[in-house]
Amino acid sequence: MGVIEKVPAYIERIPGGGIVTTSMDWVLNESRASSMWYMLFGLACCAIEMMATGASRYDFDRFGMIFRASPRQSDLMFVAGTVTHKMAKRVKVLHEQMAEPRYVIAMGGCACNGGPFYYDCYSVLKGIDKVIPVDVYIPGCPPRPESLMQGCIKLQEKIKREKLSDWASDRPMPDRTIV
Amino acid sequence: MSAIDTLKAIFSGAWNLLVGLKTTGKYLPTRAVTLQYPDERWTMPERSRGVVVLLSDPETGELNCNACLVCMKQCPVSAITITQGKNEKGERYPITYTIDNTICCFCGICEEVCNFDAVKLTGKYEFAVFDKADLIYDKNKLQELGRDVKYERKRKPRPTPAPKPAAKPGDATEPKIETEIKPDSSAEEKA
Amino acid sequence: MFEFDKLLLNIYHTLQVWFTANNIPLIWLDLGVMLFAAIAILSALLLLTLFLVWWERKVSAHIQDRLGPMRTGPHGVLQTIIDTVKLMEKEDTIPASADRKVFFWAPVLAFAAAFMGYVVIPFGKGLIARDLNIGILYIIAITTFTVISLLMAGYASNNKYALLGGMRSAAQIVSYEVPLTLSVLGAVMLAGTLSMNGIVEAQGPYFWRWYWLPQILGFGIYFIAATAEANRTPFDLPEAEQELVAGFNIEYSGMKFAMFFLAEFVNMFTISAIATTLFLGGWQPPLPGLSFIPSWAWFMGKTLFLVFVLMWFRWTYPRLRVDQLMDFAWKFLLPLAFINILLTGLGVYIFK
Amino acid sequence: MTKEEIAIKLKDKFGSELEILETNQPEAYVYISPARYHELCQFLKEAPEFDFDYLFQLGGVHYPEDRFELVLCFSSHERRHNMILKVKLDKDNPQIVTTSDIWMAANWYEREAAELFGIKFVGHPDPRHLLLDDDWDSGYPLRKGWTGPDFISMPEK
């Protein structure tokens, strides 16, 4: 976490510090929400639709979303497609490599719940939320580009509701080893 | 390769670089094709395969579904769950009708096999949620979604007992369903 | 009235008088002026870089028939500022097995090296932080610092892709430094001075006398080699996404990555500014009658045009292979640069 | 060669060890006893009149009552004929000699069949997992009646 994350815990103790943190919340949440860099990886057919969303007709760049190949620099991970048990381990590692704050969107039925592979399937994980925390679920097989964008707008709403003080108190500085 | 050929290759290479610049430069001032989604939308085509809804009778406002379970049996991924019930008039109706949208693969088979204009795939697509449990749609939600959907009646009047033509392999399900319907008089009353 | 040179000189002389009247040593004044110049250049360039990043995204978008950032401010002008704020608050990851000191200093060095060249760039008539008499030599020496920072980043990350990216950038920058320096020599021979301001003044306010015409070969070589120096497409092998994920900055997140990112754009502006100074007449107007437009506007206009051409290159050309890249530098650009020097020498001998 | 010609020639050579399956498919269907399986494969690959140089499918079938079956489909690029070879394997201990020394392609197919059906290929040069995880330890998922972690069977309709 950046330096800014620690500040509100101290400011809130000062009388009148609430105003400062509220405006800081606003600035930081706006910047987080309008600059979600997503990770360049896809797992199955949903990835094709994700590429279509990034291309000219639907253009993710309008929301300030560009892809980064490195998980360190990305804020958002689209789990786009069928997650097999074998792949789930890799997805988990990628999620751990992402720097906080990080968000996950489960795109399509397979990532939400196993999708068409929910019954009678030995290889597919029944929902990526068994492995990593998911913020927004988008149904569809695969979802239209508009659905994906609506999911992103939904996530932006969620980000804009966040409070720095929650971050500081609820989520302590993760003392994790960076793999 | 002689010196002249080398020179020619160099110049044609440099020229081709300029041609490349011209091609991209041509697109720079032109109008972008981007659809600005939250402000602009496509009108979805009539037969697009979006979220499944349950259709209601436009006059009475009741569900067209009479719980014949065909869609549930035909669903290749078992996304549909129906429990059958009978009302006081002896008509079948669905007590519960659940579609799990995380499992549904939007193949459209339920719409195809339905003989009562009860299920339809619509052009609706905005259904992202924060909680996975919200993606399991029950009867009321599906009915609400289907309120504003316009549809064309495809249900034929009750077939006259004429000599049947030789059944094709593709039609195998249809006669079977009809025999199921026949004893049920309520469906005809609705129509 | 929009020229700053007289105004700044007047202020300087007034302060000089005031300092001598109050018996303060003039060294403090010189230090203060240097500090002012540094802050002015740094803040102006940072703002400019924010603009350039947004501009690059817009150019790329429109070349691809897209729109680019649209939802932050009118046509997304605030996008880069918002990106920077987000990067500032992002977690600063350091890999457990990284060389922590080198890992920390690499982006700082990249950022510093990118800005140090601006000491000798004449932004306008009299708008130059320090008119060194070896200005062009200084710039060539300073811009090569970049390679050290990239190597440091690649080595310290303890990641194979980062190391490959760092090594590639070292090989590439060192190779292209040679034709670049030789192509600059042509302009220096024509002007007869190494000072940046001197080179601009030698070109004069007539656009056909600028050095792009007699040095058309040198201009081409310089521009190609400088594109490779700044790791821009089609020479962006150090950060080739298909091969090296993100190249030397793969392990960097948050503000450290932002420093690399901004340094890249500052470098892009640097090479365009040097090209403007050496070959496009710097802050001179194309005709003497056009001097009512202030000199810094001419400089900025020319430089931004060259920056635009670099962006245009980026979204047009595919990436070169490593062996093609090296072949191109050593077998094509280097002999061509020597031929250019020879021709320039002959020209100077005949016409002067 | 037509499927009848293939069947007759093979029957001549292998006699009672070989069983021809009558189907209305365009390919010849042949059962071979496991004892002469490798010999037959070698013969099919090397005999110039057969010249089956392309193994395009090798898979297992589980019949939970009595047996496993191995199904091999070959084709010949030169002579443009296909055939399908089947081997019946033991119910409890399915085991067969490898054919990866005859066709390169058999290597991966056999690894796949080995991990999904539990058929043991004797003499296989690289018996690691191919598709499943390296630390997979919940049995052979394509056997009938298999259940494992995270497995949900289709509800009765």
Among A56, A59, A113, select the one facing B103 at the smallest CB separation.
A113
Question: What number is the average pLDDT over the span D19-23?
Answer: 83
Reply yes or no on whether the pLDDT at C327 is more than 80. Answer: yes
Question: How far away is chain D from the Cα of B42, in angstroms, using its nearest Cα?
Answer: 37
Query: Is residue B19 located within the same domain as residue B95?
Result: no
pLDDT of residue D24: 84
Is residue A40 a contact partner of residue A69, using CB atoms and an 8 Å limit?
yes
- Please judge whether B101 and A139 are an interchain contact, meaning their C-beta atoms are less than 8 angstroms apart: yes
Among B17, B29, B36, select the one facing C70 at the smallest CB separation.
B36
Query: B95 in a domain, yes or no?
Result: yes
Among A137, A141, A144, select the one facing B129 at the smallest CB separation.
A137
pLDDT of residue A8: 63
Closest-approach residue (CA) in chain A for B75: A116
Residue D63: which CATH number?
3.30.460.80
Contacts of A100 in chain C (CB under 8 A): 90-91
Query: D144 in a domain, yes or no?
Result: no
Reply yes or no on whether the pLDDT at D31 is more than 50. Answer: yes
The number of domains in chain D is: 1
Q: What subunits make at least 3 CB pairs under 8 angstroms with A? A: B, C, D
pLDDT of residue B166: 56
- Please judge whether A177 and C96 are an interchain contact, meaning their C-beta atoms are less than 8 angstroms apart: yes
Establish if C308 touches chain B: CB-CB under 8 angstroms: no
Is residue C175 a contact partner of residue C224, using CB atoms and an 8 Å limit?
no
pLDDT of residue C207: 80
Reply yes or no on whether the pLDDT at C141 is more than 70. Answer: yes
ipTM of the complex as predicted: 0.78
- Please judge whether D152 and A123 are an interchain contact, meaning their C-beta atoms are less than 8 angstroms apart: no
Question: How far away is chain D from the Cα of A84, in angstroms, using its nearest Cα?
Answer: 10
- Count of other CB atoms within 10 angstroms of residue C17: 10
* Cα distance between residue A40 and residue C245, in whole Å: 9
Closest-approach residue (CA) in chain A for C254: A73
Confidence class of residue C159 from pLDDT cuts 50, 70 and 90? Answer: confident
Closest-approach residue (CA) in chain A for D144: A120
Exposure string of B119-140, with b = 16+ CB inside 10 Å and e = fewer, is bbbbbbbbbbbeebeebbbebe
Percent of chain C with pLDDT over 90: 1
Is residue B177 a contact partner of residue B66, using CB atoms and an 8 Å limit?
no
Contacts of B72 in chain D (CB under 8 A): 157
pLDDT of residue C10: 82
Query: What is the DSSP code (8-state) at residue A163?
Result: -
DSSP assignment of B80-148: EEEEEEE-TTS-EEEEEEEEETTT-----HHHHH-SSS-EEE-S-----BSSGGGGEE-HHHHHHHHTT
The number of domains in chain B is: 2
pLDDT of residue D93: 86
Contact pairs from chain B to chain C, CB under 8 Å: 35
Q: Which residues contact B39 (CB under 8 A, 6 or more apart)?
A: none
Establish if A19 touches chain C: CB-CB under 8 angstroms: no
- Please judge whether B32 and A56 are an interchain contact, meaning their C-beta atoms are less than 8 angstroms apart: yes
* Cα distance between residue B71 and residue C279, in whole Å: 75
Query: B177 in a domain, yes or no?
Result: no
Taking only the tens place, the pLDDT of each residue in A123-179 is 888 888 888 888 899 988 888 888 889 999 988 888 888 776 665 544 544 445 544
Q: What is the sign, positive or negative, of the torsion defined by CA atoms of B161, B166, B171, B172?
A: positive
Q: Alpha carbon of C41 to those of C107, C120, C256, D53, D143: distances in Å?
A: 19, 11, 21, 72, 72
- Please judge whether B50 and A144 are an interchain contact, meaning their C-beta atoms are less than 8 angstroms apart: yes
Closest-approach residue (CA) in chain B for C308: B25
* Residue with tokens 């939007």, as numbered in its chain: B106
Question: What number is the average pLDDT over the span C159-175?
Answer: 87
Question: How far away is chain B from the Cα of A62, in angstroms, using its nearest Cα?
Answer: 8
User: Among A70-79, C40-49, C123-132, D104-113, which stretch is predicted with the lowest mean pLDDT?
Assistant: C123-132
- Please judge whether A118 and B129 are an interchain contact, meaning their C-beta atoms are less than 8 angstroms apart: no
Q: What subunits make at least 3 CB pairs under 8 angstroms with B? A: A, C, D
Q: Which parts of chain B sit beneath pLDDT 50?
A: 158, 171-191
Chains D and C touch each other (3 or more Cβ pairs < 8 A): no
Question: How far away is chain A from the Cα of D149, in angstroms, using its nearest Cα?
Answer: 8
Query: D108 in a domain, yes or no?
Result: yes
Establish if C69 touches chain A: CB-CB under 8 angstroms: yes
Query: Is residue B28 located within the same domain as residue B61?
Result: no
Query: What is the DSSP code (8-state) at residue C328?
Result: I
Structure tokens at C286: 């194309």
Question: How far away is chain A from the Cα of B75, in angstroms, using its nearest Cα?
Answer: 11
Chains C and B touch each other (3 or more Cβ pairs < 8 A): yes
* Cα distance between residue C160 and residue C167, in whole Å: 10
Residue of C101, C79, C199 whose CA lies nearest to C157: C101
Q: What subunits make at least 3 CB pairs under 8 angstroms with D? A: A, B
Query: Is residue B91 located within the same domain as residue B135?
Result: yes
Taking only the tens place, the pLDDT of each residue in C72-91 is 888 888 888 888 888 888 87
- Please judge whether B28 and C66 are an interchain contact, meaning their C-beta atoms are less than 8 angstroms apart: no
Query: D150 in a domain, yes or no?
Result: no
- Please judge whether A101 and C66 are an interchain contact, meaning their C-beta atoms are less than 8 angstroms apart: no
Is residue C140 a contact partner of residue C187, using CB atoms and an 8 Å limit?
no
Domain with B12 in it: 1-33
**H or E segment and range at residue D114:** helix D106-117
Contacts of A150 in chain B (CB under 8 A): 37-38, 125-128
Is residue C336 a contact partner of residue C223, using CB atoms and an 8 Å limit?
no
Confidence class of residue C321 from pLDDT cuts 50, 70 and 90? Answer: confident
Parallel, antiparallel, or unpaired: how do β-strands B92-100 and B136-137 relate? Answer: antiparallel
Structure tokens at C12: 């300087």
| Global confidence as pTM | 0.80
Contacts of A24 in chain C (CB under 8 A): none
Among D132, D142, D154, select the one facing A119 at the smallest CB separation.
D154
Closest-approach residue (CA) in chain A for B51: A140
Query: D147 in a domain, yes or no?
Result: no
Confidence class of residue D43 from pLDDT cuts 50, 70 and 90? Answer: confident
Query: B164 in a domain, yes or no?
Result: no
pLDDT of residue B185: 44
- Please judge whether C71 and A178 are an interchain contact, meaning their C-beta atoms are less than 8 angstroms apart: no
Structure tokens at C104: 């920390």
Chains B and D touch each other (3 or more Cβ pairs < 8 A): yes
Closest-approach residue (CA) in chain C for A62: C69
Structure tokens at D149: 């972690």
Is residue D1 a contact partner of residue D78, using CB atoms and an 8 Å limit?
no
Taking only the tens place, the pLDDT of each residue in A65-109 is 888 888 888 889 999 888 888 888 888 888 888 887 888 999 888
Domain with D98 in it: 3-122
SS3 content of chain B, % helix, strand, coil (to 5): 35, 15, 50
Packed helices B3-27 and C26-63: angle between N→C axes, nearest 10 degrees: 90
Long-range contacts of B158-162 (CB under 8 A, 24+ apart): B158/B188
pLDDT of residue C213: 81
